[in-house]
A and B are shown apart, each in its own frame.
Chain A
Amino acid sequence: QKEVEQNSGPLSVPEGAIASLNCTYSDRVSQSFFWYRQYSGKSPELIMSIYSNGDKEDGRFTAQLNKASQYVSLLIRDSQPSDSATYLCAVRNYGQNFVFGPGTRLSVLP
């Protein structure tokens, strides 16, 4: 059973701080990794995708991938109350399917 694990949270950070979200996966052949943000009652929206080891930055967001440790993370710098949401980690291997983690609920406190 291919699994993606995340800490369910809630993770609370003060406004302006760095929020660090973590994800581990079990399938070593996983090739593609994605972070989605989901607001309550809404559908998931893509924030970042990452395919190779290292860091990938996009604005306030940085995705980090370590395939040897089977670990992917998302850093949110200068966190804003509008970042409060559930963050889903997703993993894709050579097949067509995506495996989603249960999500981490982030709360940014003003």
Chain B
Amino acid sequence: DVKVTQSSRYLVKRTGEKVFLECVQDMDHENMFWYRQDPGLGLRLIYFSYDVKMKEKGDIPEGYSVSREKKERFSLILESASTNQTSMYLCASSTNTDTQYFGPGTRLTVL
């Protein structure tokens, strides 16, 4: 079974803090993705990576950065958290030809 894990299920941070969200997949997938999901707005792509050290901006990259130093790990970084970044963050991975598999999600609250 494909397994995608995320470092935290729930996270509470303060405005201005630097926040790291970690995602690990165990299926040797080439592609990894970070989404955020908000009520009424659906899934929105923040960043994706199709190879180690490669990254591409998605639809809403502002305020975020990513790191992919190893194939199995994709990190999302909020350089200076703001209240409008309170959301559910979902990591996913895929091969070049198959579907995406999602992690359990991290519900981030920024106070």
Interface residues of A (CB under 8 A from B): 32, 34, 42-46, 49, 88, 90, 92, 96-98, 100-103
Contact = CB atoms under 8 A, between A and B. Distances in A.
B103 A43 contact: yes
A100 B42 contact: yes
B48 A49 contact: no
Interface in B53-69: 56, 58
Interface of B: 31, 33, 42-43, 45, 48, 50, 56, 58, 90, 94, 96-105
Given A97-B48, A100-B43, A103-B42, A43 B96 contact: no
Nearest to B51: A96
Contacts of B99: 32, 34, 46, 49, 90, 92
A96 B56 CA distance: 10
A46 to B, nearest CB: 5
A90 B102 contact: no
18 contacts: A32-B97, A32-B99, A34-B99, A34-B100, A43-B103, A43-B104, A43-B105, A44-B43, A88-B42, A88-B43, A90-B99, A92-B99, A96-B31, A96-B56, A96-B94, A98-B94, A98-B100, A100-B43
The 8 closest A-B pairs by CB, nearest first: A43-B102, A102-B42, A100-B43, A43-B105, A96-B50, A34-B99, A44-B102, A96-B31
A90 B96 contact: no
A101 B41 CA distance: 10
Nearest to B31: A96
Contacts of B43: 44, 88, 100
Contacts of B104: 42-43
B110 to A, nearest CB: 19
B103 A96 contact: no
B39 to A, nearest CB: 10
B91 to A, nearest CB: 9
